[in-house]
Amino acid sequence: MGPVSHLFEGSRATVTAVLALLLVGCAAGRDAADGVSDRILDEPAADTDGVLRVLVYHDMEGLTGQSDPNTFRYSHPERYAVGRQYLTGDVNAVVAGLFAGGADEVHVVDGHGSGNPEPDLLLDELDARVALVSRDQPFDAYVDLTEPGVYDAVAVVGMHAKTGSRGFASHTFTLGIDLLLNGVSVTETEIVGYSWGRVGVPVIFASGDDRLAADLSEPMPWVETVVVKTATSASSTEPRPVDEARADLTASARRALEGYRSARAMRLSGPVVAQLHAVPPADLSTLERVPGIDYADQRVTFTAPDFAQAYGGLVGLVAVARTGYASVMGETGRAMAGPAFGPTYSDALFDRWLDFESGRWVLPESPTPETRTYHGFR
């Protein structure tokens, strides 16, 4: 998932709800953590409608030919335009393989969320057989689509390694976030796998850099993984030749679907011990002295009854961890405005307080939700 996509706007309600969840989970669930079950691997659920249907998640950090981080950032339009070309080419290559492997239908959902209100994919160049998943309200592509009997398999395209893996743009969920389930740091691909595993649907294919392949080799060995580039840092790669890599994408996607019954749907039985570990630029230290919160060394741990509630709690905690981004904003402001930034900000903060207390300033009403189509993560 792209970093821009999950810079969620943390509201007071969100933070309050998260703290309430953690207070209950940390206090009531600690003892249960000792009995947390390991993950369960199941055979894929039976095809109930006779239609072999595959859902494809796309991200934008693990694309063929890519070595510039700005190609997955909507805020850099010229380079982002190049990234859209990379993305569409990779998705088309995978879709071709899935249909060659026997798919009757292939649907694609945005797992990146660049901030573009339109799809990241170039629709006029996208394989015409593809159907885009969309809704008229915002939705979480990882958990809100999961229901039994709709899809038979899931593929992920253009993915990245997890936080700390030293891959190209490696992260989990968004900047500075490391997510752990039952003590194990997970990739976004594993999050997709745990979500769909609840209804017996396996992840069968993944593409990205060499560090992603390493991350998936132990927890998901059945996944057909295509390495399209070698990471040399978080901001640089050595890409494979595009034609060669895309031919591999097609062949591997076909092979994955032809053998999807040998893949495994993975799930977690409850309770689930969840932990958010913040690394720069994120920060959880504001929770250090909150009673009832299990905090230590930039980590908050809680126990949830199942995967869905564990995931929801972690997403909420991200809003807290993102308060650390303000330090970078302050550094940027001082660099741009020089010595005047500090006093100017201090005066603005002070005046806001005085204006509110005097009735001259009121909290603006929440804006009316815009009417638009959502293709996945925003």
Q: Which residue has the higher pLDDT, 341 or 251?
A: 251
Would you give the end-to-end CA distance of the chain in angstroms?
A: 11
What domains can be seen in the chain, in order of their start residue? Answer: 1-378 (3.40.50.10780)
- Return the pLDDT at 37: 52
What's the CA gap between 228 and 249, in Å, rounded?
A: 9
pTM: 0.89
Q: Are 268 and 179 in contact (CB under 8 A)?
A: no
Least confident of 184-188, 264-268, 327-331, 352-356: 327-331
Whether pLDDT at 14 is above 60: no
The DSSP secondary structure of 141-156, one letter per residue, reads TTTSS--TTS-SEEEE
Average confidence (pLDDT) over 333-340: 89
- What is the band of 200 on the pLDDT scale with cuts at 50, 70, 90? very high
Lowest mean pLDDT among 21-25, 60-64, 174-178, 252-256: 21-25
At 114-134, the pLDDT tens digits run 888 999 999 999 999 999 999
What is the band of 215 on the pLDDT scale with cuts at 50, 70, 90?
A: very high
Give the pLDDT mean for 273-300. 96
For residues 58 and 91, is the Cβ–Cβ distance under 8 A?
yes
